[in-house]
Amino acid sequence: MPREPVAGVQEPGSGVLEDATIAALGEHALIARIRRQLPPAPDWLIVDVGDDAAVYEPVRNRLEVITTDAVVDGVHVDRRFVPFEAIGHRAVAVNLSDLAAMGATPRLLTLSLALPDDLSVSEFDRLVDGAVALAQRAGARLVGGNITRSRGPLMVDVTAVGSVHRRRILRRSGARAGDYIFVSGLLGDARAGLALLSDPAGVDAERWPDVVARYLLPEPRLRLGQLLGRSRAATSALDLSDGLADGLARLTTDHGLGCEIDASALPISEGARAVWHSRGADAVAEAVAGGDDYELAFTVRPKEARRLNAVARAVDGLRLTRIGVVTRTPGCWLVDAERHRTPIGHGYEHFRR
């Protein structure tokens, strides 16, 4: 359940008036309002609301994972500069990324489309192409869906189901003080690519095609998730759909822990550094804040580092970077080369160096 940062977010139970608008509350508080309506989890529900996906047990010792996520034009993408193939790709990718973050193997998808009347058939076809191509490559079958007209924006809602063995589930909880923190791939490229594409001048997008592609075509880290679950190398994991700052909070401060992140260790591409430099922005701050990377962040007990080496060899080509450590003291800090410490907030609205 990715969040959108909302100014003036209020925590649940803090006395918000019922006639306030939802915009004043934010997604976390709304989810909390739903959760308090739910009965206790039944026996067959292994992982409840609040992780990357839910895990349930349709048959003893056989687990299924389910997640749902939407891509909305004007909120998550902008069809003025995002090709329709990339919109379809993204709608599937963000859901497969949630399965990856649970260590699951994708099985099937449903696709629910709300389509504005002015959408052309070729735009529709390209959207479907992008969705089906990624699904097939990931071994997930589209089994059903729904199409409705939208009198508002284009919306693509996907639900994904996958399988996982009980002892191989990657949860968000499980990190302990002293665990190393790792991330896959590169951080902040997606945010830099979005900045390039959404720039009205728009000329720079052609200078950094790799950075732009990292925004347009996120790659769910399915093999990494499965290997981390299978090897039991990781104590916790999630996908960085909402950025590193948010992800660190979910893995540490949500569980009364903290973290120290080595600013110089963050895997930032040369391209992203150049983009931010050209705009007078701080590449590290952008990499910490930026969402949409869909990389995995995970924690590893130092004595299990050897298991991680085997994983690293098996995901050939995907970079795994140790960026910091889990601490006993709550709160996350970015530590630079001079050992200056800057607090890391819960999202880019709150994180500014």
Contact characters 158-177, its own copies, x per CB under 8 A: -x-x-x--------------
Helix H or strand E segment including 300? strand 296-300
d(CA 73, CA 83): 12
Does 325 sit near its own copies (CB under 8 A)? no
Does 264 sit near its own copies (CB under 8 A)? no
CA distances from 292 to 123, 145, 242, 262, 321 (A): 23, 25, 6, 21, 18
Which span sits near its own copies by CB under 8 A: 52-60, 179-187, 199-207, 290-298? 52-60
Does 293 sit near its own copies (CB under 8 A)? no
149, 167, 207, 352: which one binds its own copies (CB under 8 A) = 149
Residues binding its own copies: number (CB under 8 A): 79
d(CA 82, CA 94): 16
The tokens describing 127, both together, are 């959207």
Indicate the residue among 156 and 195 with the shorter CB distance to its own copies: 156
Indicate the residue among 144 and 256 with the shorter CB distance to its own copies: 144
8, 18, 280, 316: which one binds its own copies (CB under 8 A) = 18
Contact 292, 190 (CB under 8 A): yes
Sequence-distant (≥ 6) Cβ neighbours of residue 340 within 8 angstroms: none
Report the site for its own copies in 105-124 (rule: CB under 8 A): 107-108, 110-112, 114-115, 117-122, 124
Burial of 155 (0-12, 13-18, 19+ CB in 10 A): buried
What is the closest distance, in whole angstroms, from the C-beta atom of residue 7 to its own copies in the complex? 12
d(CA 251, CA 235): 10
Does 132 sit near its own copies (CB under 8 A)? yes
